[in-house]
Homo-oligomer: A and B are copies of this chain.
Amino acid sequence: MEYRRLGSAGVKVSALSLGSWVTYGSQVDIDAAAAMLKAAYDQGVNFFDNAESYAGGKSEEIMGAALKKLGLRRSSYLVSTKFYWGLHEGPNEKNTLNRKYLMQAIDGSLKRFGLEYVDLVFCHRPDPNTPMEEVVWAMNDMVASGKALYWGTSEWSAEEIRQAWEIADRRNLRKPQMEQPQYNLLFRDRVEKEYQRLYGDIGLGLTTWSPLASGILSGKYAKGIPAGSRLSLPGYEWLKDRFPQDVLTSTAALDPIARDLGATASQLAIAWCVKNPHVSTVITGASRLEQLDENLKALDLVPKLTQPVLDAIDQALAPALAIMRNHV
């Protein structure tokens, strides 16, 4: 496994890590989660991503129970959580980063995990209705109290990250260290353009999500939406709406490129994310052990992503990228 610093931070994360979104609490139980964590851990994965809102808190409970069952050395792995969406409907309990919400959120999360601290804590989204200074103080207080080791953001604009960092710097508070953006072959601009100055200026680390663009890049939707697949499920209409049919179709072009390199389209898509040196870790999901193994093998593909290969990928996806950039 390759390990990378979390931006400029001294802590290192495995280039591929394991997320629990749409996984724990809904599809798999504790034993299965433990088996998955163990398999990933044994192959060198040291970061397990989570969030308060995943499966309404159950994802944290199951990961915590699985970690306890495995008895892994606490200093050998990192666990994250994220706050913003909330677990309740109250005016101060959802879609917010106000101090009241955040202070009870970290306590609730640690209780569900059964941990004394999380390694990484993220503001899951920006909150335009809470002053940045209030957010920075609350996140600083989580680190100062030892409940978290590093704090960061997820899906924040460069300006928002910059503002939070500057407030922390000016007031001698703990600074945000990492951002968790969506990043894949079809969503590149934020990571590659918008954040460009932040890597050098503030040492921003990235823990990217959705390397397969919700599975699109595996190519399984290239010829239509198979029954039982995620895009066919009720409740996922929003996901389907994000990808016009032409985009789905165009993903078929990745297949021959991947096959030439002895890999699958999914592995190619994951490896392409890892190739970016500004990415600290690519968070992948897996509901089956075979899927995990396939994902992790993407690391072997990274050195094969030569300039000609990258050019071929860009050419194949150019129309889809153009569509996505014009698509809300």
Residues of A near any B CB (own CB < 8 A): 3, 5, 8-12, 14, 46, 73-76, 78, 88, 90-93, 96-101, 103-104, 119, 127, 129-131, 134-135, 137, 141, 144-146, 149-150, 171-174, 203
Decide: B46 and A75 in contact? CB cutoff 8 A. Answer: no
Decide: B100 and A78 in contact? CB cutoff 8 A. Answer: yes
Decide: B46 and A5 in contact? CB cutoff 8 A. Answer: no
Closest CB pairs A-B (n = 3): A10-B130, A10-B98, A3-B91
Decide: B88 and A76 in contact? CB cutoff 8 A. Answer: yes
Which of B46, B90, B131, B135 contacts A92 (CB under 8 A)? B46
Residues of B within 8 A of A146 (CB): 103, 145
Decide: A135 and B91 in contact? CB cutoff 8 A. Answer: no
Q: A5-B129, A75-B104, A104-B74 are contacts. A12–B92 as well, Cβ < 8 Å?
A: yes
How far, in angstroms, from A73 to B91 measured CA to CA in the complex? 13
How far, in angstroms, from A74 to B99 measured CA to CA in the complex? 14
Q: What are 27 A-B pairs at a CB distance below 8 A?
A: A3-B91, A5-B129, A8-B131, A9-B99, A9-B134, A10-B97, A10-B99, A10-B127, A10-B129, A10-B134, A11-B99, A12-B98, A73-B90, A75-B90, A75-B93, A75-B100, A76-B88, A76-B90, A76-B93, A99-B150, A100-B119, A103-B146, A103-B149, A131-B203, A137-B174, A145-B146, A172-B173
How far, in angstroms, from A292 to B223 measured CA to CA in the complex? 62
Residues of B within 8 A of A14 (CB): 91
Which of B92, B135, B173 contacts A75 (CB under 8 A)? B92
Decide: A46 and B149 in contact? CB cutoff 8 A. Answer: no
Count of identical protomers in the assembly:
4
Q: A74-B104, A100-B149, A150-B99 are contacts. A11–B92 as well, Cβ < 8 Å?
A: yes
Residues of B within 8 A of A8 (CB): 131
Decide: A11 and B103 in contact? CB cutoff 8 A. Answer: no
Distance in Å: Cβ of A97 to nearest Cβ of chain B: 6
How far, in angstroms, from A3 to B96 measured CA to CA in the complex? 14
Decide: A149 and B99 in contact? CB cutoff 8 A. Answer: yes
Residues of B within 8 A of A12 (CB): 91-92, 98
Decide: A11 and B149 in contact? CB cutoff 8 A. Answer: no
How far, in angstroms, from A73 to B89 measured CA to CA in the complex? 11
Which of B73, B75, B101, B203 contacts A101 (CB under 8 A)? B75
Distance in Å: Cβ of A79 to nearest Cβ of chain B: 11
Residues of B within 8 A of A100 (CB): 11, 75, 78, 119, 149
How far, in angstroms, from A218 to B145 measured CA to CA in the complex? 50
Distance in Å: Cβ of A201 to nearest Cβ of chain B: 13
Decide: A11 and B171 in contact? CB cutoff 8 A. Answer: no
Decide: A91 and B46 in contact? CB cutoff 8 A. Answer: yes
Distance in Å: Cβ of A148 to nearest Cβ of chain B: 10
Task: Name A6's closest neighbour in chain B (CB-CB).
Answer: B98
Distance in Å: Cβ of A272 to nearest Cβ of chain B: 23
How far, in angstroms, from A3 to B94 measured CA to CA in the complex? 13
